[in-house]
Structure 1
Amino acid sequence: MRVSELVARSGIPLPTVKYYLREGLLMPGESTGATQARYGEEHVRRLGLVKALASAGLPIPRIREVLRLIDHPGDSMFEALGQAIGQLPPYFDPVEPAADEEPFPRARAAIEKLGQVYDPRHTAVRQLDRALEALEEAGVRMTDENLEAYGKHIRGIAEIEIGQMPTGSTADAIRYAVLGTVIYEPVIAAMRRLAHQDIAQKRLQDSEEQDKP
């Protein structure tokens, strides 16, 4: 397909497509002349991925790193997946703890209470620790009951997602994991709020019915 069709298929303006080509986020097409090139389905897929990552707030260097891991994942799928997910927001400035200090005490306690693997190298460990710290600063405590409930249901979601992850290709697995995280986390957050609304409305209605003479 010509670049005009690539623009139409991807929904990305031509100047942006050219910018992605210059930045190396989109691989060059097959040259068919001095100023023309032919593009294929892989270019459409790559633009879709870049568009999703850019919409999620990833800066160009982090998008480039995700694409590098997809194109050159190395020998370990597990390590490549962790590195790719580590490029997704939120981002934190690195803080070096003292030699005798536990770097993420809140996260470690929560993860170990759930019986999960604690690996301080994973970006989500820092994210969890900061989130739990923010709860404390707001005067809210993560109770064991809440932690157990969240852990149980979130693990159920994760099991479904990991079960559907393609394993025949590391590149496909990384693409699936990154896109799944970027696209589905807003869906999960919205569904949680809608569940709050539904449950609250029904409980209030039941309460009003009981209060009627």
Structure 2
Amino acid sequence: MRIGELSGRTGVPVPTIKYYVREGLLPAGELSSPNQASYGDDHERRLRLIRALLEVGGLSLAAIGEVLAAVDDKQRSVHKLLGAAADRLVPGYASDRVGDGGPDAEAVLARERVVRLLDARGWRSSADSPAGQALTAALAALARVGHGGFAEVLDAYASAAEGVARADLEYVGRRAAREDLIETVVVGTVLGDAMFAALRRLAQTDGSSRAFEAAAGPAAGAGPDAGADGPPGGLSA
């Protein structure tokens, strides 16, 4: 196909496609004449992946280049390939420091809790990975605002995460091309997080209604549908 057709199929403007070629993100087309190049399905798949990394994953072009280098490294295992993409989707967290004295007490205790969790579950993950650092930062923040006890539900969260991760990987495993694998991880992780948060919120609404409204009984003057779409007491929307 010509570059115009490639642009039409992918929604990527022709100047942007040419820029990606110049930057080495997209292979050049095969010259069919001195002024014409032909593009194929591999170019379309690569452009689709770049768009997913950029628009859904929010990665910089530099980070996208690193992910694409991993895709093209056929010696890299699928596990390491997926890790190269997934690690870049986790927000970075600076070390929790007090002046120059190193991490504060909450951060130290939070990291120890993460290490114990990983050891207890036998997860082949590291507390120093981007995701491990993110979990440490969340637990430390909970402790600082007086809700360190919320970590009591950490094991329940971990069990739920294992089930979701299995479903994720089963879905990813049905993809064959390396570009498709990465695109699935990026889209599935970013939008899957949003989907899981929404499901959690719906489950909270249902659970709160059953636990608290049933015990208190309907408010005086309230109709049968009153508050059906609003947040339950104590839970933010």
User: How far apart are 1:183 and its partner, in Å?
Assistant: 3.7
Q: What is the letter of the counterpart of residue 65 of structure 1?
A: E
Report if the CA contact (8 A) 1:73-1:170 is conserved: no
Q: Give TM-score, length-normalised by structure 1.
A: 0.79
Q: What is the letter of the counterpart of residue 197 of structure 2?
A: A
Report if the CA contact (8 A) 2:49-2:182 is conserved: no
Cα 1:170/1:30, change in 2 over 3 Å = closer
Aligned mate of 1:146, from 140, 153, 172: 153
Report if the CA contact (8 A) 1:50-1:63 is conserved: yes
**Is residue 2:69 matched to residue 1:68?**
yes
User: How far apart are 1:115 and its partner, in Å?
Assistant: 4.4
Cα 1:9/1:94, change in 2 over 3 Å = farther
Report if the CA contact (8 A) 2:54-2:60 is conserved: yes
User: How far apart are 1:63 and its partner, in Å?
Assistant: 0.5
User: How far apart are 1:197 and its partner, in Å?
Assistant: 4.2
Q: Which moved more, 1:60-69 or 1:108-117?
A: 108-117
How far apart, CA to CA, are the structure 2 residues paired with 1:65 and 1:169? 21
Q: What residue number does 1:117 align with?
A: 124
Q: What residue number does 1:166 align with?
A: 173
**Is residue 2:53 matched to residue 1:45?**
no
Q: Which moved more, 1:45-54 or 1:25-34?
A: 25-34
For structure 1, the 5+ residue unaligned runs are none
Can you list the C-alpha shifts for 1:105-140, whole angstroms capped at 9, x where unaligned?
A: 242133334443342453211121112222222322
**Is residue 2:175 matched to residue 1:181?**
no
How far apart, CA to CA, are the structure 1 residues paired with 2:202 and 2:12? 32
For structure 2, the 5+ residue unaligned runs are 97-101, 222-237
User: How far apart are 1:170 and its partner, in Å?
Assistant: 8.0
Residue aligned with 1:47, SS: helix
How far apart, CA to CA, are the structure 2 residues paired with 1:67 and 1:27? 11
Q: What residue number does 1:18 align with?
A: 18
Q: What residue number does 1:130 align with?
A: 137
How far apart, CA to CA, are the structure 1 residues paired with 2:109 and 2:209? 43
How far apart, CA to CA, are the structure 1 residues paired with 2:151 and 2:93? 26
Q: Give TM-score, length-normalised by structure 2.
A: 0.72
How far apart, CA to CA, are the structure 1 residues paired with 2:59 and 2:15? 19
Report if the CA contact (8 A) 2:90-2:131 is conserved: no
Residue aligned with 1:21, SS: helix
Q: What is the letter of the counterpart of residue 76 of structure 1?
A: S
User: How far apart are 1:69 and its partner, in Å?
Assistant: 0.6
Can you list the C-alpha shifts for 1:129-186, whole angstroms capped at 9, x where unaligned?
A: 1122222223222546521221111111111222233389683544543443234223
Q: What residue number does 2:7 align with?
A: 7
How far apart, CA to CA, are the structure 1 residues paired with 2:113 and 2:144? 13
User: How far apart are 1:58 and its partner, in Å?
Assistant: 0.5
Can you list the C-alpha shifts for 1:49-70, whole angstroms capped at 9, x where unaligned?
A: 1111111210111111111111
Q: How many positions carry a matched residue from both structures?
A: 211
How far apart, CA to CA, are the structure 1 residues paired with 2:127 and 2:152? 24
How far apart, CA to CA, are the structure 1 residues paired with 2:218 and 2:199? 29
User: How far apart are 1:206 and its partner, in Å?
Assistant: 4.0
Residue aligned with 1:86, SS: helix
